[in-house]
Structure 1
């Protein structure tokens, strides 16, 4: 999912209303939160709706959910340790790690991208250890859904 540059490579996630697909995305984010295992404050952002590139925007959509965790107490080394643990733990829960490296930003943040083929979801996690306070950022993105006949895609 995550390394596709072509909309044809984005998996079909099924037939769903936008609100049901957003609820499913929040469940995936909640499962990821539990796997991360950090005590702290998670942002309260809600999922959003985007069109599936190259597909009819009135029929197909994808859900994205950006959020972050600001740990109550965690050092930069501990956050990077969480990322290392996730690299080995995510595959035990149906995720395939497709990228794990430092990004090209000035801060050289540690980044992990993983796909869950069963759930048709991809996640990118980044460890922002130089931020004050340090945090983990996540972007969870679904495959392409088709809206049921007779329904309209809600943009939120």
Structure 2
């Protein structure tokens, strides 16, 4: 991503924590729309984390962890295939795709969105009970507006 700090995290601009969280949740919602199979998403809200080596009262990142549980386990393959094909059409670049080193060899998809200054990691957990996709959307590093402090939630 362009505009990276020394740790590789892009600068996302100036925002309050709650406005940035709303933007990341909206980005997650767009990913949910791409899944394209019946199922249910977990109900979770975005949270705030620190930017490495930056003042935690002024700089922050947003994360949004959530899960998707398909109506049928076989739909996990369909969902991952759709995400791999559709994310690039929506401004995401798939930077890695394949099995991890776990015993279950879970399929991982990692993508970045330069325009939105965000990344996503999707893990197909077919052997979980119940089977699911685990999704984590993370923003770049934001700075709060002058005179404001980072809200933690």
TM above 0.5, yes or no, is yes
Q: How far is the alpha carbon of 1:94 from its aligned partner?
A: 0.3
- Decide whether the 8 Å contact of 2:35 with 2:83 is kept in 1: yes
Cα-to-partner distance string for 1:120-140 (whole Å, 9 max, x where unaligned):
010000101011221111000
Give the whole-Å Cα distance in 1 for the aligned partners of 2:79 and 2:147. Answer: 45
Q: Report the CA distance between 1:79 and its aligned residue.
A: 1.2
Is residue 12 from structure 1 mapped to residue 11 from structure 2 by the alignment?
A: yes
1:126 and 2:123 matched:
yes
Paired with 1:134 and 1:152, the residues of 2 have a C-alpha distance of: 40
Instruction: Give 3-state SS (helix, strand or coil) of 2:119's partner.
Output: strand
* Whole-Å separation in 1 of the counterparts to 2:37 and 2:53: 38
Q: Secondary structure at the match of 2:54?
A: coil
* CA distance in structure 1 between the partners assigned to 2:134 and 2:47 by the alignment: 16
SS of 1:24 mapped into structure 2: helix
Secondary structure at the residue paired with 1:62?
Answer: strand
Q: Normalization by structure 1: what TM-score?
A: 0.91
Alpha-carbon shift at residue 149 of structure 1 (Å): 0.6
- C-alpha contact (below 8 Å) 1:80/1:110 kept by paired residues: no
**Whole-Å separation in 1 of the counterparts to 2:15 and 2:6:** 22
8 Å CA contact 1:96–1:114 kept in 2: the answer is yes
Matches of 1:147 and 1:84, distance apart in 2: 37
Cα-Cα RMSD: 1.6
Distance 1:134 1:115 in 2: 25
| Structure 1 gap ranges (5+) | none
CA distance in 2, matches of 1:84, 1:70: 16
Q: Residue 41 of structure 1 aligns to a residue in which SS? A: strand
Could you say which residue in structure 2 is the equivalent of 1:86? 83
Unaligned runs of 5+ in 2: none
Q: TM-score, normalised by structure 2?
A: 0.93
Deviation at 1:83, TM superposition (A): 1.3
Aligned equivalents of 1:88, 1:35: Cα separation in 2: 9
Runs of 4 or more, structure 1, over 4 Å off, are: none
